[in-house]
């Protein structure tokens, strides 16, 4: 048996307005090649870089959120290597004095703490494009100079599952902080895994193999699983693991050798002479600390205590911050709406029922509509205000509309917006209070289903539910099931 050790290097593009050392637009959605470029990010002779303060703030904010120590004194260095998408022939980065060190991230549900060695700031490279069957490659420098934050973990991860959970939680934190959209498919967050195996009784780490530029959580997990199997097979043959950099083939789901692994001294780091050192003041740190919002683990704990939702519902809201904000607004409006309607404060037991009702409709009906339309939730684009959603829920809770009518109302609100009471009135969807009309419908249903009547009278309760459903359908959902049940029982005796 072998012990698995995984360490991560994660590159995150910061969502600043401009690039790291120039005023070019930082836009990961730009499709036109080499549009957002200038002499600075193209490394023309004689140009000078200027530090993007916004990028420094975002790295420090991330470090504080991940329990890191922030360097009071830091500086940039030149990392020297040649690659076609690196116009200067070196990358401005940090090595000796990273902005953030010695942090950690706790994994929810796994009861494990992953230590973070460092988080530093650098500039991104350009991107290479390889036309199919062409004997050349193309370089797009739109990405060149984009602020890039690199996070390096300690070798504390012991499985593909733990890695997946770490990447998911980190991605969520970055989005909560607003420092990066962290969209892996767009290359805004790129993961490199270092995987090593060693016999259970061996204390020293085994030879590590790096798998670079993984652009989805699935590929991160699959690449580690493949490397564990590959390295196990090599060791079982009595052979040695080669320290190397490997790529990942998404379609074949295999890693492949790219090159031998460089060491830090290969890059010949030295201080960047064109940039001043960074001195971080306490008031600067305090200001950034006040900007840190409630983080996922904090919200997860609060939601569990305050709303008593299922784990599935809880994670739905934690993973979609905008949806969780909307849910809380709806709950607040609903409590106020019910209090004003009945002229008294709502008891806690009843409040929990309202919370459950709100979550049921948001987590099921609303999610189904969003999925059907192929859109993600965004409150600023959503036509249903929290106030109107709360009113809609109060009508359900007080029995003023049936579940069938509720589905029609929420669809109308979803597509056109508007006040639910007005929608009900305009469409004639009010509940029928005339028992004579309901009784007439019940008599017609019984006449059309004599066997169901006989079965009920013989003691089969399921037949009553069938008849209730038939009457409700005939009334188009505009009658209370309880009223229908009472009328049917009276007729059938």
Q: What is the pLDDT of residues 381-422, one digit of tens each?
A: 899 999 999 999 999 988 888 888 899 999 999 999 999 999
| pTM (predicted TM-score) | 0.87
The whole-number average pLDDT for the span 227-247 is 95
What is the pLDDT confidence band of residue 113, given thresholds at 50, 70 and 90?
very high
3-class SS of residue 299: helix
d(CA 284, CA 59): 13
What is the pLDDT confidence band of residue 453, given thresholds at 50, 70 and 90?
confident
CB 143 within 8 A of CB 159: no
d(CA 401, CA 424): 9
**Domain boundary assignment for the chain:** 2-290, 296-427, 435-492
**Burial (0-12, 13-18, 19+ Cβ within 10 Å), 168:** middle
CB 214 within 8 A of CB 193: yes
Query: 3-state SS string over 100-118?
Result: EEEEEEEECCCCEEEEEEE
Contacts of 234 (CB under 8 A, 6+ apart): 240, 241
CB 289 within 8 A of CB 281: no
**Burial (0-12, 13-18, 19+ Cβ within 10 Å), 404:** middle
The whole-number average pLDDT for the span 79-92 is 94
> CATH: 3.30.60.50, 2.60.120.10, 3.40.50.300, 1.10.10.410. Which one for 435-492?
1.10.10.410
d(CA 115, CA 67): 10
d(CA 260, CA 359): 53
Instruction: State the alpha helices, DSSP H only, in 121-178.
Output: 160-177
What is the pLDDT confidence band of residue 261, given thresholds at 50, 70 and 90?
low
d(CA 92, CA 73): 17
Helices (runs of H) and strands (runs of E) counted in the chain: 16, 16
């Amino acid at each position: 048996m072998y012990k698995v050790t995984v360490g991560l290097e994660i590159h995150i593009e910061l969502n600043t307005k401009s690039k790291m050392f120039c005023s070019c637009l930082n836009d990961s959605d730009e499709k036109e090649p080499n549009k957002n470029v200038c002499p600075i990010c193209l490394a023309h002779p004689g140009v000078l870089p200027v530090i993007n303060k916004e990028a420094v703030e975002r790295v420090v904010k991330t470090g504080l959120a991940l329990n890191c120590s922030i360097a009071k004194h830091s500086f940039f260095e030149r990392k020297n290597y040649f690659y076609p998408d690196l116009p200067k022939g070196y990358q401005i980065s940090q090595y000796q004095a990273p902005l953030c060190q010695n942090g950690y991230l706790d994994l929810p549900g796994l009861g494990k703490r992953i230590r973070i060695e460092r988080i530093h700031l650098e500039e991104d490279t350009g991107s290479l494009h390889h036309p199919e069957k062409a004997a050349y490659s193309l370089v797009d420098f739109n990405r060149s100079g984009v602020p890039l934050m690199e996070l390096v973990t300690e070798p504390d991860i012991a499985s593909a599952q733990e890695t997946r959970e770490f990447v998911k939680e980190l991605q969520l934190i970055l989005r909560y902080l607003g420092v990066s959209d962290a969209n892996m498919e767009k290359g805004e967050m790129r993961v490199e895994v270092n995987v090593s195996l060693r016999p259970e009784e061996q204390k020293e780490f085994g030879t590590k193999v790096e798998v670079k530029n993984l652009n989805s959580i699935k590929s991160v997990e699959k690449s580690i699983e493949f490397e564990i199997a590959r390295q196990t097979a090599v060791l079982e043959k009595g052979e040695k693991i080669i320290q190397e950099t490997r790529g990942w083939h998404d379609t074949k789901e295999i890693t492949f050798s790219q090159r031998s692994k460089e060491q830090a001294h290969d890059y010949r780091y030295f201080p960047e002479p064109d940039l001043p050192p960074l001195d971080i003041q306490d008031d600067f740190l305090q200001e950034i600390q006040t900007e840190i919002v409630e983080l996922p683990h904090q919200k997860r704990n609060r939601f569990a205590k305050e709303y008593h939702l299922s784990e599935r519902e809880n994670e739905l809201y934690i993973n979609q911050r905008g949806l969780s904000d909307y849910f809380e607004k709806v709950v607040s409006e609903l409590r106020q709406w019910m209090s004003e309607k009945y002229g008294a404060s709502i008891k806690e037991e009843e409040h929990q029922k309202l919370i459950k009702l709100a979550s049921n409709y948001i987590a099921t009906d609303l999610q189904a509509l969003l999925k059907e339309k192929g859109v993600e939730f965004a409150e600023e684009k959503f036509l249903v205000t929290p106030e109107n959603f709360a009113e809609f829920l109060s009508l359900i809770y007080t029995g003023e509309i049936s579940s069938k009518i509720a589905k029609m109302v929420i669809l109308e609100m979803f597509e056109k917006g508007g006040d639910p009471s007005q929608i009900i009135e305009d469409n004639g969807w009010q509940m029928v209070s005339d028992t004579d009309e309901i009784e007439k419908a019940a008599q017609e249903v019984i006449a059309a289903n004599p066997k169901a009547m006989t079965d009920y009278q013989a003691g089969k309760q399921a037949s009553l539910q069938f008849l209730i459903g038939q009457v409700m359908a005939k009334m188009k959902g505009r009658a209370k099931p309880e009223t229908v049940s009472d009328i049917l029982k009276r007729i059938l005796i």
